[in-house]
């Protein structure tokens, strides 16, 4: 019988899952994964930084915070035409969702029509749209929804009781408020966090507990492994044990059975074997394309070969498209047929 969707998880239950012998945890996660998804399908998103750097916030992991000297060149909001050209290329390379990120604490009302134009045009290509722009007011979320936005990404980032070690310029409650505005506007939520920031297993369980006990499970749950960037306060943090990372994916899969669990930032420094373990533990979404926002991601050919070696197919989505040259069902270059030649 399929697992019940619960919003009343208890901390001890999550810690008990984390404490399971590794093979048993993987088995339980893999079983839940199969109740809701084809484990051979992985959803593919591409990210674009539409406004880079110069951010007033102090997130200790982030290369885009103005206060840290990280060598990121601040760039103003891109033109819509340039964004659409990148979205078209992402679709051709196999993405089904295009995520636009801006290094803002929150958008100004005057920014919303510009972002809305990007969303409208990207959507017309037959791609799912996602945006991550910082904190949102209710009316802003509504305007983005009306422009055709499908998903809004806003992460809790870490457990509430570790949050003060990472961010001081906005509160945990601010994040929960934004998520509420996003849900109320009828947008799908993309919400997860980062591991490898010096937190304990209890903190990792605390993050998953907060996510799983939201009024609705996030539709997508990005699990980022910290990308250490010189100049940020977290540069030089101790590396997280890779098996602990896989445990994080597995517990996320078990407690949020219907969500897409995204193996998000940090793949560039992961072995193929570690990524395969993550897919086996229930991860079923990735960012594809050689850049995340400002840092690197595995190159496209490498990902294509990895999918082929693992017999994984990109998940297809049906989106209403006005672009008749590139119809709504996304047929992807990354196909398992090339397995034989990989």
Residues that bind ligand SAM (CB under 6 A): 61-62, 64, 101, 103-104, 132, 134, 154-155, 157, 194, 224, 226-227, 229, 265, 293
Q: Are 231 and 53 in contact (CB under 8 A)?
A: no
- Examine the residue annotation and report whether 278 is marked as an active-site residue of this protein: no
- Examine the residue annotation and report whether 130 is marked as an active-site residue of this protein: yes
Please say which residue, 224 or 259, places its beta carbon nearer to ligand DTB.
Answer: 224
Residue 226 interacts, among ligand DTB, ligand SF4, ligand SAM, none and using kind-specific CB cut-offs from 5 to 8 Å, with ligand SAM
What is the separation of C-alpha 118 from the centre of its chain, rounded to a whole number of angstroms? 20
Q: How far apart are CA 330 and CA 87, in angstroms?
A: 13
Please say which residue, 28 or 101, places its beta carbon nearer to ligand DTB.
Answer: 101
Q: How far apart are CA 253 and CA 47, in angstroms?
A: 23
Least gap, CB of 8 to ligand DTB (angstroms) = 25
Helix-, strand-, coil-residue percentages of the chain, each rounded to 5: 40, 15, 45
130 labeled binding residue: yes
Q: Are 289 and 67 in contact (CB under 8 A)?
A: no
Q: Are 247 and 289 in contact (CB under 8 A)?
A: no
Least gap, CB of 70 to ligand SAM (angstroms) = 10
Residue from 62, 86, 88, 225 carrying the catalytic annotation: 62
Residue 294 interacts, among ligand SF4, ligand SAM, ligand DTB, none and using kind-specific CB cut-offs from 5 to 8 Å, with ligand DTB
Residue from 88, 97, 175, 190 carrying the catalytic annotation: 190
190 labeled binding residue: yes
Q: How far apart are CA 156 and CA 188, in angstroms?
A: 15
Number of C-beta neighbours around residue 115 at 10 A: 25
Site residues (vs ligand SF4, CB under 6 A) = 55, 57, 59, 62, 64-65, 103, 105, 134
Residue 154 interacts, among ligand SAM, ligand SF4, ligand DTB, none and using kind-specific CB cut-offs from 5 to 8 Å, with ligand SAM
What is the separation of C-alpha 319 from the centre of its chain, rounded to a whole number of angstroms? 20
DSSP 325: T
Q: Are 23 and 55 in contact (CB under 8 A)?
A: no
Q: Name the CA radius of gyration of the chain, rounded.
A: 19
Number of C-beta neighbours around residue 271 at 10 A: 10
The tokens describing 235, both together, are 């540069």
338 labeled binding residue: no
Q: Is residue 63 within the footprint of ligand DTB (CB under 6 A)? A: yes
Please say which residue, 219 or 323, places its beta carbon nearer to ligand SAM.
Answer: 219
Strand positions, DSSP E, the chain = 41-51, 97-102, 128-132, 151-153, 188-190, 193-195, 220-225, 260-263, 285-287, 313-314
Residue 65 interacts, among ligand SF4, ligand SAM, ligand DTB, none and using kind-specific CB cut-offs from 5 to 8 Å, with ligand SF4
Applying CB under 6 A, which part among 104-112, 221-229, 269-277, 309-317 lies near ligand DTB?
Answer: 221-229
Q: Is residue 227 within the footprint of ligand DTB (CB under 6 A)? A: yes
Q: Do the bridges between strand 188-190 and strand 97-102 make them parallel or antiparallel, or are there none, so unpaired?
A: unpaired
Which residues between 258 and 297 bind ligand DTB (CB under 6 A)? 264-265, 292-295
Binding residues for [2Fe-2S] cluster: 99, 130, 190, 262
Binding residues for [4Fe-4S] cluster: 55, 59, 62
Binding residues (CB under 6 A) for ligand DTB: these are 47, 63, 101, 132, 153, 155, 192, 222, 224, 227, 264-265, 292-295
Q: Which residues are catalytic?
A: 55, 59, 62, 99, 130, 190, 262
């Amino acid at each position: 019988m399929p697992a019940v969707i619960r919003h009343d998880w208890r901390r001890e239950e999550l810690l008990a899952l984390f404490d399971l012998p590794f093979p048993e945890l993987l088995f339980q996660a893999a079983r839940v994964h199969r109740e809701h998804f084809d484990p051979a399908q992985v959803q593919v998103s591409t990210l674009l930084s539409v406004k880079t750097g110069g951010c007033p916030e102090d997130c200790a992991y982030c290369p885009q915070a103005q206060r840290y000297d990280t060598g990121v060149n601040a760039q103003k909001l891109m033109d819509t035409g340039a964004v659409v050209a990148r979205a078209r290329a992402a679709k051709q390379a196999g993405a089904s969702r295009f995520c636009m990120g801006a290094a803002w604490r929150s958008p100004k009302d005057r920014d919303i029509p510009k972002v809305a134009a990007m969303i409208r045009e990207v959507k017309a290509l037959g791609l799912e749209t996602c945006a991550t722009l910082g904190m949102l007011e209710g009316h802003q979320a509504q305007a983005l929804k009306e422009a055709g936005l499908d998903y809004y990404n806003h992460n809790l980032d870490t457990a509430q009781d570790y949050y003060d070690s990472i961010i001081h310029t906005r509160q945990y409650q601010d994040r929960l408020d934004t998520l509420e505005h996003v849900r109320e506007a009828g947008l799908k939520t993309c919400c997860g966090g980062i591991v490898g920031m010096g937190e304990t297993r209890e903190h990792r369980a605390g993050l998953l507990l907060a996510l799983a006990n939201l009024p609705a499970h996030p539709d997508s749950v990005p699990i980022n492994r910290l990308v250490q960037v010189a100049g940020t306060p977290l540069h030089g943090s101790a590396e997280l044990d890779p098996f602990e990372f896989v445990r994080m994916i597995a517990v996320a899969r078990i407690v949020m059975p219907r969500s897409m669990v995204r193996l998000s930032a940090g793949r560039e420094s992961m072995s193929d074997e570690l990524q395969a373990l993550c897919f086996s533990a229930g991860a079923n979404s990735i960012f594809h394309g050689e850049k995340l926002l400002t840092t690197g991601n595995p190159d496209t050919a490498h990902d294509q070969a990895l999918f082929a070696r693992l017999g994984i197919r990109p998940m297809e989505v049906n989106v209403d498209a006005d672009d008749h040259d590139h119809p709504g069902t996304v047929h992807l270059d990354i196909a398992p047929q090339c397995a034989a030649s990989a």
